[in-house]
Structure 1
Amino acid sequence: MFDIIIRRRIDPALNRIGHRLASAGITADALTLTGFGIGLGAVPALALHAFWIALGCILVNRIADGLDGAVARAALARAGPPSTADGPAVGTDRGGFLDIACDFLFYAAVPFGFALADPAANALPAAFLIFSFVGTGSSFLAFAAIAARRGLSSAPQTGLKAIHYLGGLTEGTETIALFIVICLWPGLFPWAAWIFGSLCLLTTATRFVAAMRQFR
């Protein structure tokens, strides 16, 4: 819900840092995979009740997720328009795949970590939250696949992205806020998971409605 607003505020700073990282030879794929690996470190940290370490892993993952796109755009700007099938656009497609796939795996990993931390109290709400993430993720990706075939673009609203971005009530900003809250107050996880999961299912429902209208 707030992704577009937040991105407009932070993108200028991310783009400046991205240009510097690209100039230093750091690639977007390297940032994506490094951030993903660090983000997965939240799972054992949560299982061991090291919630501050888990929060650090989550924040580093999200910073890397913001910077990999900025680095990719900087690299493409330096390379210029691709002239062959093996040009920069191929790297963008590969990077887009890595970015989205790693994001969804990371989002599911955090509630899994809370389930490991306290199976008796957290396993059922964690399963519900992961179930709701499957709903938002599958509806997001299915819409993007059909939108690509129809030549639709979300760029005017979201900026240059590897795939079409369909918004909703629960997006990346809200998910990060959830992760911060449950790491700071882990005892709230069951209630937070039930509430946020319900909002995710509402987001899925609105995306179904949007798809039915758009793809008549």
Structure 2
Amino acid sequence: MLDRYAITIIKAPLEKAAQLLDGSRITANHITVSGFLVGMLALPAIALQSYTFGLLFISINRIFDGIDGALARRQGITDSGGFLDITLDFLFYSMVPFAFALADPANNAIPAAFLIFSFMGTGSSFLAFAVMASKRGIDNPVYKNKSLYYIGGLTEGTETIACFVLFCLIPAHFALLAWCFGALCWITTFTRILAGFNTLRAAETDVERESEKTDLG
């Protein structure tokens, strides 16, 4: 929901960073993998209840995730890079609640499992529609520079990262935050399924009508 606004705020500094890196031997894929590896350090940090370090590694991961996209737009967006980026992003997102489950299994395990369950809904609806939209040649007018069709929702990347920050700042309230955010994720899932189905069905109907006109002609 907030991604379109966040992008306008962070666009300039990310493009500046990409400009500095462009021309070197560093590629967008290097940034993607490096950011993922740094982000994964949040797993042991959070599991050991070093939440400040966990927040630091999460923040670095998200900064690198922004830079890799900006650098890819300068060097050329590729399907392989887009695949790598989205796959590592979803692994990173699922890692964070798992880390909090390890930090306090008695209180956090079930809320963390529910949150990961909800991420399956948002992730599958996102990716499934992206595949079908690409097949149909459907473009997103809001996120034109994305390698995949970016279908929005109530809980997007900005909201997810804000939630992760809150997890680290007030870890004692992880369970409540996880239940609440997981519920919001399911609202996103249902709205994406509805919007995605209707969009694809409308595209199919248009094709059927064109086919009928061709047959009649």
TM-score (norm 1): 0.91
Distance, in Å, in 2 between the alignment partners of 1:95 and 1:160 is 13
Percent sequence identity over aligned pairs: 53
Residue in 2 that maps onto 1:44: 44
Q: Which runs of 5+ in 1 are unaligned?
A: 77-88
Q: Where do 1:62-141 residues align within 5 Å?
A: 62-76=62-76, 92-141=78-127
Give the letter for the 1:215 counterpart. L
Give the letter for the 2:89 counterpart. D
Q: Which runs of 5+ in 2 are unaligned?
A: 202-217
After superposition, what is the alpha-carbon deviation per residue over 1:79-124, rounded to whole angstroms, capped at 9, x for unaligned? xxxxxxxxxx6xx111100110000000000000000000000000
Alpha-carbon distance, 1:159 to partner: 3.1
SS at match of 1:193: helix
Give the letter for the 1:118 counterpart. D
Q: Which of structures 1 and 2 has the bigger CA Rg?
A: 2
After superposition, what is the alpha-carbon deviation per residue over 1:115-166, rounded to whole angstroms, capped at 9, x for unaligned? 0000000000000000000000000000100000000111x31131111000
Alpha-carbon distance, 1:212 to partner: 2.0
After superposition, what is the alpha-carbon deviation per residue over 1:7-34, rounded to whole angstroms, capped at 9, x for unaligned? 0221122112112111232110000000
Runs of at least 4 residues of structure 1 off by over 2 A? none
Residue in 2 that maps onto 1:171: 156
Give the letter for the 2:123 counterpart. G
Moved more, 139-148 or 11-20: 11-20
Q: How many residues align?
A: 201
SS at match of 1:39: helix
Distance, in Å, in 2 between the alignment partners of 1:110 and 1:72 is 26
Residue in 2 that maps onto 1:153: 139
Give the letter for the 1:4 counterpart. R
Q: Say if 2:59 is the partner of 1:59.
A: yes
Give the letter for the 1:104 counterpart. F
SS at match of 2:142: helix
Residue in 1 that maps onto 2:212: none
Q: Where do 1:13-24 residues align within 5 Å?
A: 13-24=13-24
Distance, in Å, in 2 between the alignment partners of 1:177 and 1:68 is 20
Give the letter for the 1:177 counterpart. A
Q: Say if 2:193 is the partner of 1:198.
A: no
Give the letter for the 2:191 counterpart. T
Distance, in Å, in 2 between the alignment partners of 1:33 and 1:13 is 21
Q: RMSD of the TM alignment (CA)?
A: 0.9
Distance, in Å, in 1 between the alignment partners of 2:196 and 2:49 is 41
TM-score (norm 2): 0.91
